Structure 1
Amino acid sequence: MQSDRIIRRSSWPWRAAGCQNYKTKRCTHPPPPSSPDKCNPTASLGAVAGHGELRGARTTKPRGVPIFIMAKSKSVLAIVPLFVCLSNLVTSAQAVLTAEDTGPQLVIANDRLYAAVNKTTGAIQNLLLDGQDLLGAPGYENPTPGGATGNGASGLGPYLDCYCTPSGFYTPGHIAPRYQLINGTDSSKTPYGGIVMSETYPATGQVLEQYWFLREGETGLHTFSRLTYNNKTTPFLRNLQEFRTMFRPNTALWTDLSTNEKQYAPLPSTEAKEKQVTVQDATWYLGNTPDDPYVQQEGDYFTKYTFQDTWRDHDVHGMYSDGKYSDDGSTFGAWLVMGVKDTYFGGPLHSDLVVDGIVYNYMVSNHHGDGTPNITDGFDRTFGPTYFHYNKGSPTTTLQELRLDALQYASPEWNADFYDDIAKYVPNYVPTTKRGTWKGHVKLPKGATKPLAVLAQNGVDFQDNDRDTKAYQYWGDIDPRTGNVEIPRVKEGTYRLTIYADGIFGQYTQDNIVIKSRKTQNTHVNWNEESAGNEIWRIGTPDKSAGEYKHGYELNLEKPLQPEQYRNYWAAYDFPTDFPNGVVYKVGESDAGKDLNYIHWSVFGGYGNSVRTEPYYENVNNWTIQFDLSKKQINHKKSATFTVQLAGAKTAAGNTDVYNASEPFANLPYTVAVNGRDLKPWVIPYHHSSSCGVRSAVICYNIDNKFKFDTALLVEGLNEFTLSLPYNAIDYESALLAQSTYVQYDALRLEIQ
């Protein structure tokens, strides 16, 4: 990718174009006559002069999405909403959808997309869009820690694999797979084809299934994945540590990665990878090739964690081809559209890998420390639908434009009728007849921004909703002006409602929200921010993130793409250099974005740190918060409450949620001293541990604690809190990762009453 093709991150046209509901990417009003394309989320794809034709948008109507048609001009093929122009309708070609068994392969294809599953591997091994090979030849890379995972095969996908057997990774399809070929017509008279692969793992009896469907007029694959386990002799097998599908090409075609609208970058070149130096699990130093496009534009370090994302607002991720290696110079996109997240776990705070040269659909994982479900007798869960979308543009079509084309499908209501039609082939899929709608009206606390309503497993924190493998999850943005929120297509059942917002300490919860099929459940909430007296001060913003602190959301202004700093390899930010005297923060004078680090370490450097290879202990584990109090603030007051909200904490349990008696800091004591007097430690349990900052994240498993103490410990004038982790509290790491325990702050608050 040449440097003159750099495109800076900027706001997306949902906002600029006047689309009133850009969160769902669907406009709620017709466009003004003077600007007919402003309410068309794909209008910019072809309407930029010189961009020529963009392929991938359909001319038949996808359910839940406005119909778009093609209008030709001399220099451009523009996409125009149907309600604007009816005179230039371009009809699609005659339907040619096929589903056939060729002997060694099962094939589903239409006039543009061709997908073939190899019967001996259980994976798609041939995938072509308009004749362009999207996968390349089958390849193999020896699996290494942090590198190639699963069976090491590439030139495949989408295909299924898991970390779910007693020995670990398993890729179904090569032992004794069973197949079903489907050929049908849906209720809209649109032909479709499908392939189902099913295999029983002999040692345990687990059954893994992968489903692929293709419709006429679309250039993408609708996928579902299923795991069942029925074994009364061994009722507990293990945890489902990873369950994922992957588009894993082995071709030079793909040139760029895209996490979301802000995070994208060129792929490192072959030369950069040949000269890379491993610095951490799945992390490499690329500075030996300073002219590499990735190094020039994004940074000196490459890690798969740089491109992770949090599920709350995530919708589309994938890879882009700038046309340099395509057959005819056309650009291409390969996207995973996550319009439906109800069968995942962890709620809106869950984060995971999305792309790194592989396009992932991580249905289950504990990369950042979230819980994973146990595989027990009777386990039967189907994940999906998810949509792998492939598109094509002219040689000058940009990554953002192809991504925007995929984004139009990121709605839970898109293609719902089609999924109902194929439900007979997909066990456990919940059709529309078994779903209802939830509507809420929330009186929000003053100062609440970005409020969110979550429906998840009843009776537990939504972060722990993996405990019930039948439970689903949903969330929706609350309008901060009206307090209204609506979540459609909710599986019938009983849920816990959780409401939280930026700027507000604590959250609102209400159990026993009952959703009935084809009914609307209305809930009215009067939410008051939690309070333990008069607020004296707060540090940071309660937003379930550590991004506001130094090296968090702060941009790297030295690189043209200006990535957020937390996405970089953590050791690039040398704590002793940034804080030579340790952290001393004065309330009312200090700046949280400069004077508090995004990670509070127990020890810095040593194992896993390629920059500072020897451990550094001085002024690391103890942080000081200073603040002044007047006589009026403490006179005749009895109690004080110091609230600590964490966006993540790593104990010696790492991301496993497994207690190890040989690790003294599996349960991690966190201590607060008030003017030199220690309060009762907060012991962070092993099952609340995350692997967050070292894996390029600032939002992980959120926890909090309230330290309550007598105001007699406070004095008029200067006061000090010392926030402490145990000295040199480390763990054993089998992978090349930092051994230090640490916490990442969301927000802090002192109240007195």
Structure 2
Amino acid sequence: MRRPRSPCPRPSPPSPLSLRRTLPALLALGLASTPSLALNATETNTTLSLSNDRVHFVLNKTTSYMTSVVLDGVDLLGTPVDATSAIGPYVDAVFTPKQDNYVPSAAAGATYKLVQGTDSTGTAYGGMIMSQPNVEGIVGELLEQYWFLRDGETSLHQFTRFAYRNASVPYLTDFTQLRTLFRPHGPLFTHLSTNKDWFVPEPRPNPAVDSTKDLGVATLVQDTTWYIGNRTNDPFVEQVADYYTKYSMADTYREHDVHGLFADGTYTPDNTTFGAWTVYNTKDTFFGGPTYSDLTVDGLVYNYIISNHHGDSTPNITDGFDRTFGPAVFHLNHGPKGGSLDQLRDDAASMANVNYGSQFYDDVAQYIPNYVTSSQRGTWSAKINLPKGASNAIAILSAPGYNYQDNTANTAAYQYWADIDGNGKVEIDRVKAGDYRLTIYADGIFGDFVYENVTVSAGKQTDSGNIKWDAESSGTELWRLGNPDKSAGEFKHGDTPDPTHPLHPPEYRIYWGAYDFIKDFPTGVNFKIGKSNEAQDFNYVHWSVFGGSLRRPEVVTGPSINNWTVSFDLEDNDIKHTTNGTLTIQFAGVATDAGNTDVFSTKLPYYNLPYVVSVNGHDLPPFIVPYYHSSSCASRQAVTCYTTANKFTFPTSYLTSSATNNLTLSLPFNATGVSVLYDALRLEVQ
């Protein structure tokens, strides 16, 4: 059981289109016909289908895959080469004791239902509902998927429900993964878009779509990671990197709103542009808070609802679990010849707010168990007195009693967050009525502010009034290394733009094996406070060993790898009349032998990782990072994962003003599966 816990070049586009709401512009471009306000919902022995004048979706009852996704006469799924290509959207999950990837099917007992009606605005809608009971024969386990289409829209509104009721087996297994996927095949789409700042040309062929059919010239170097640098005329290689991996397109969820695929017209029938997008108009039914990170698009368009790719907490499946996730929006759009990715992305992003679709969701709530309607929600606000130096501050409402990263421990709780403005004001709308923990963090400030007992009432404005955050302190700060922002991006190979490719991706987004720690730091990391450069002299990952990559296949061990040195000079007055020193280390991610699984085992020695600090030769008690705080940050192209911290205390008699002081930061020697990413370090005395 788990423990709780440089954009592409942008051509000058015409004015952005909103393909849902600006039909006159589409008519002027010849990209839409006059609507007949006709929504069709049909069922046969083998299919369910929803369509209106612009889109057509067909769901195969045998496989639960959509096998036709047509916008303005163009099938965006492309050309299938077998039964598992050119499919989707569809739902799959890893949620049984077998821990295999499960897709519902009629053969396994899935049932399918078509619904239709008229919403409160008089707009016709239809819905396709799949229900899979007793997954893999497990009594009480249920997976349901809901897709709704409204007339006049080119979007599917989607919800996913999972339930487990079996008192005789109160704990079933870990809920490892839940997602929906759109899996096109063929050349139509040309670009991948993670967010407004990170979008790239798609490799051709793209091995991530299906490595058994689309590998091309590529060498596998890690899971879903290939060296493709010896390709010729590949736009990704020419513009982005020699390595391609799905992890390069991941994102944290704090500001994430939309991701998807863009077709620039090169391979469309009339050279017009198309987009296929996942839009997050809500995030309250996800877990992990704003620092949760996951895959977005890699040739497939994902909606990751639950996963541990970067070591984020996932829930236990226990008797009584019943949660409906969503809504999210699967949106299709169509632009003119020469139109830009920005143009279609902006259209999709216009839906990424909590009020979009809210009345419609109330109208169809009769079909969606557990959906929290508008009448069951309220608004929360507060005025936060932030510490001096705070920036980019955020307020989070999450499960009471738990770190927001561990809100999986309460599978009935929802989560919300919002930026705190320059005047300290924050407001969050459409909050599910109930009790919450308030957490606040900000760039530049060590530690989080935690405030329990926030109660939001349905239909009311809950104002918590003035809240003062006094930043944590253990005395006088002598120095800090890094910026406390829950990220290792400021260090070498972090956020620094890659200088070798014209799109200059942040270096951390490129496969870790593209860099050679041994050459970068031949004598190890020796950082001098006040003299060294964080972006050059402090690596973004602290490895215990290095190697095992295509570039350096041999694994190198040595004390200059697992031991780093931070040195500093002090004046007499810095430590005069002081007795206690405190070294605070905030970690942006830690990999123990548990990797991203959060599962304990005795097969390897460091599922619980001892991290040791020595002050001028005095070893301090180790910080034991538990297996359920482990993540796969370094190996999966991220600089923010499950964050944790520790305060190392010691007598200031360990320090000196007559010579250079040395801190040694140590991982176990020759521990092949472990590493840490630093957020920031600070030394204080009192």
- Match for residue 218 of structure 1 among 153, 170, 195: 153
Residue in 2 aligned with 1:326?
Answer: 268
Q: What is the CA-CA distance between 1:679 and the residue it aligns to? A: 0.7
2:401 aligned partner = 459
Selected match of 1:288 from 230, 252, 263: 230
Divergent runs of 4+, >6 A: none
Using the TM superposition, name which of 172-181 and 327-336 deviates more: 172-181
1:57 has 2:57 as partner:
no
Q: Which of 521, 525, 528 pairs up with 1:586?
A: 528
Equivalents in 2 of 1:391, 1:723: separation in Å?
52
Which residue in 2 is equivalent to 1:529?
A: 471
Asked if the contact 1:240–1:373 (Cα under 8 Å) also holds between the matched residues in 2, the reply is yes
Distance (whole Å) between structure 2 residues aligned to residue 45 and residue 551 of structure 1: 34
How far the C-alpha of 1:72 sits from its partner, in A, is 8.8
| Residue number among 165, 169, 175 corresponding to 1:240 in the alignment | 175
Give, in angstroms, the shift of residue 230 of structure 1. 1.3
Whole-angstrom distance in 2 between the partners of 1:421 and 1:72 = 30
**2:142 — aligned with what?**
207
C-alpha displacement of 1:610? 1.4
1:643 is the counterpart of 2:643: no
Establish whether residue 191 from structure 1 lines up as the match of residue 124 from structure 2: yes
The Cα offsets for residues 546-601 of structure 1, whole Å up to 9 and x where unpaired, read as: 10000000001221111110010101110011111110001011111111000000
Correspondent of 1:372 among 302, 314, 318: 314
2:272 & 2:642 partners in 1: Cα distance?
42
Q: Secondary structure at the match of 1:716?
A: coil
Distance 1:279 1:527 in 2: 46
Equivalent residue number for residue 279 of structure 2 = 337
**Match in the other structure for 2:652:** 711
Asked if residue 516 in structure 1 is aligned to residue 457 in structure 2, the reply is yes
CA distance in 1, matches of 2:534, 2:30: 50
Distance 1:7 1:565 in 2: 14
Aligned 8 A contact 2:8 2:200 in 1: no
> Is 1:249 matched with 2:184?
yes
Query: Could you tell me which residue of structure 2 aligns to residue 542 of structure 1?
Result: 484
- 2:513 aligns to what SS in structure 1? helix
Other-structure match for 1:310: 252
Is the CA contact (8 Å cut-off) linking 1:55 and 1:393 kept in structure 2? Answer: no
Q: Are the equivalent residues in 2 in contact too, given 1:173–1:198 (CA < 8 A)? A: no
Q: Give the aligned residue type for 2:122.
A: K
- Give the structure 2 partner of residue 181 of structure 1: 114
Please state if 1:482 is matched with 2:423. Answer: yes
Q: CA deviation at 1:91?
A: 11
The separation in 1 between residues aligned to 2:379 and 2:13, in whole angstroms, is 33
1:607-662 alpha-carbon deviations (Å, 9 max, x no partner)? xx111111112310110101111111111101000000000000011111111122
Which residue identity is paired with 1:239?
D
Q: Which amino acid aligns with 1:712?
A: S
Distance of 2:499 and 2:124 partners within structure 1: 50
Question: Can you list the C-alpha shifts for 1:443-480, whole angstroms capped at 9, x where unaligned?
Answer: 0111111000000000100000001111100000000x
Match of residue 629 from structure 1: 570
Q: What is the one-letter code of the residue matched to 2:358?
A: A
**In the alignment, what sits opposite 2:494?**
552
2:553 aligned partner? 613
Q: Which residue number corresponds to residue 388 of structure 1?
A: 330
Identity %: 50
C-alpha displacement of 1:154: 2.4
Cα distance change of structure 1 residues 392 and 427 upon mapping to structure 2, 3 Å threshold: same
1 CA distance for matches of 2:232 and 2:266? 21
The counterpart of 2:303, out of the listed 361, 365, 387, is: 361
SS class of match (1:294): helix
Q: Once the 2 structures are TM-superposed, how far is the Cα of residue 291 of structure 1 from its aligned partner?
A: 2.3
Shift of 1:520: 1.0
Q: Which residue of 2 aligns with 1:153?
A: 84
Q: Is the 8 A contact 1:46 1:77 kept in 2?
A: no
Per-residue deviation at 1:8?
3.7
2:331·2:348 contact (CA, 8 Å) conserved in 1?
yes
Residue in 2 aligned with 1:82? none
Q: Could you tell me which amino acid in structure 1 is paired with residue 527 of structure 2?
A: Y
Which residue of 2 is the match for residue 428 of structure 1? 370
TM-superposed deviation, 1:404 = 0.9
Code of the aligned partner of 1:611: R
**Residues 216/271 of structure 1: CA separation in 2 closer, same or farther (3 Å cut):** closer
Kindly state the Cα deviation for residue 394 of structure 1 after the two structures are TM-superposed: 1.3
2:114 counterpart SS class:
strand
Give, in angstroms, the shift of residue 251 of structure 1: 2.5
TM superposition shift of 1:173: 2.4
> Matched residues in 2 for 1:476 and 1:271: separation?
36
C-alpha distance in 1 between matches for 2:554 and 2:26: 64
Residue deviations 1:173-203, cap 9 Å, x none? 2422211211111101111110101112251
Alignment of 1:170 onto 2:102: yes
Corresponding residue number in structure 1 for 2:634: 693
- Deviation, 1:534, is 0.4
Residues 375-432 of structure 1, C-alpha deviation per residue, up to 9 Å, x if partnerless?
1111111110000010011120111111111110000111110010011100011000
Return the offset for 1:515: 0.6
SS, match of residue 305 in structure 1: helix
Amino acid corresponding to residue 114 of structure 2 in structure 1: L
Report the equivalent of 2:212: none
Cα distance in 1, alignment partners of residues 18 and 42 from structure 2 = 25
Q: What per-residue deviation string (whole Å, max 9, x for no partner) do you get for residues 340-381 of structure 1? A: 000000000100011111100000000111111111111111
Q: Distance in 1 between matches of 2:296 and 2:288?
A: 16
Paired residue secondary structure (1:460): coil
What secondary structure is seen at the aligned counterpart in 1 of 2:153?
A: coil
SS in 1 for 2:555: coil
Cα deviation, residue 207, structure 1: 1.3
1:47 maps to which residue?
15
User: Which one of 204, 208, 221 corresponds to residue 279 of structure 1?
Assistant: 221
Report if aligned partners of 2:192, 2:200 keep a CA contact under 8 Å in 1.
yes
In the alignment, the residues of structure 1 paired with residue 274 and residue 66 of structure 2 have an alpha-carbon distance, to the nearest angstrom, of 19
> For structure 1, which runs of at least 5 residues remain unmatched after alignment?
1-5, 13-43, 49-53, 61-68, 79-89, 141-151, 731-739
Tell me the amino acid that sits aligned with residue 661 of structure 1: T
1:271 CA displacement: 8.7
Cα separation, partners in 2 of 1:633 and 1:489, compared to 1, 3 Å: same
Is 1:568 matched with 2:502?
Answer: no
SS of 2:561 mapped into structure 1: coil
| Structure-2 residue corresponding to 1:26 | none
Three-state SS of the structure 1 residue aligned to 2:342 is helix
Whether the 8 Å CA contact 1:452–1:476 is kept in 2: the answer is yes
Q: TM-score, normalised by structure 1?
A: 0.86
How many residues align structurally?
667
**Cα distance, 1:45 vs structure 2:** 6.2
SS at match of 1:324: coil
Query: What value does the CA root-mean-square deviation take over the aligned residues?
Result: 2.0
Q: Give the AA of the match of 1:633.
A: D
Aligned partner of 1:472 in structure 2 is: 414
Residue 99 (1) aligns with residue 41 (2): yes
- For 1:309, the aligned partner's letter is D
Q: Contact 2:432–2:456 (CA<8 Å) still a contact in 1?
A: yes
Measured against aligned partners, the alpha-carbon deviations of 1:249-293 in whole angstroms (never above 9, x if no partner) come to 123211111111121111111298311001111110001214211
Q: Give ranges in structure 2 of 5+ residues lacking alignment.
A: 1-5, 208-214
Deviation at 1:94, TM superposition (A): 2.3
Q: Is the 2:89–2:181 Cα contact (8 Å) retained in structure 1?
A: yes
> Take 2:581 and 2:644, find their aligned partners in 1: how far apart are those partners?
20
Counterpart residue identity of residue 623, structure 1:
W
